[in-house]
Amino acid sequence: MSEDTPQEVEQDVDLEQAIDEATEAVSVQAARLHEIAGDNADGEEMELGHLLDVPVAVTVEMGQTRMTLGELVRLGPGSLVSLDREAHEPADILVNGKTVARGEVVTIGKNYGIRITQVEG
């Protein structure tokens, strides 16, 4: 039988402490989720109404291109960048980086807008 060195004992204690802290953090997060869900801890879905005020990032992507770093640094006022889409093709509407719809670019007063033509299923 070999006895653990003081260093090994200390590492074991540190490991146990780290496990205890991680377990406590998970318990705290689980408790917070239950607070958010209310009394629906039985697995029922939350009502959609609880999520309607959550802000999301919406991006409209008209196209993409690839260029070298040299081409990029030569861009300036008046430069044209050709995209990988034709003018009549719809723009992608992304929510948090995921395509959710497509639409056509329109002007609304002095601003650009997007008229949704297709919603992804």
* Alpha helices (H) along the chain: 6-37, 69-73
Give the model's pLDDT for residue 121: 76
What mean pLDDT is reported for the chain? 80
Q: What is the pLDDT of residues 12-69, one digit of tens each?
A: 667 677 777 766 666 656 555 555 555 555 556 667 777 888 888 899 999 999 999 9
Give the model's pLDDT for residue 1: 52
The answer to whether the predicted template modeling score (pTM) of the entire model surpasses 0.75 is no
**Distance spanning both ends of the chain, measured CA to CA:** 64
Give the model's pLDDT for residue 28: 58
- C-alpha 97, offset from chain centre: 6
Give the model's pLDDT for residue 99: 93
Those residues with Cβ within 8 angstroms of residue 75's Cβ, 6 or more apart along the chain or in another chain: 81
Query: Does pLDDT of 10 surpass 80?
Result: no
Give the model's pLDDT for residue 25: 64
Give the model's pLDDT for residue 50: 76
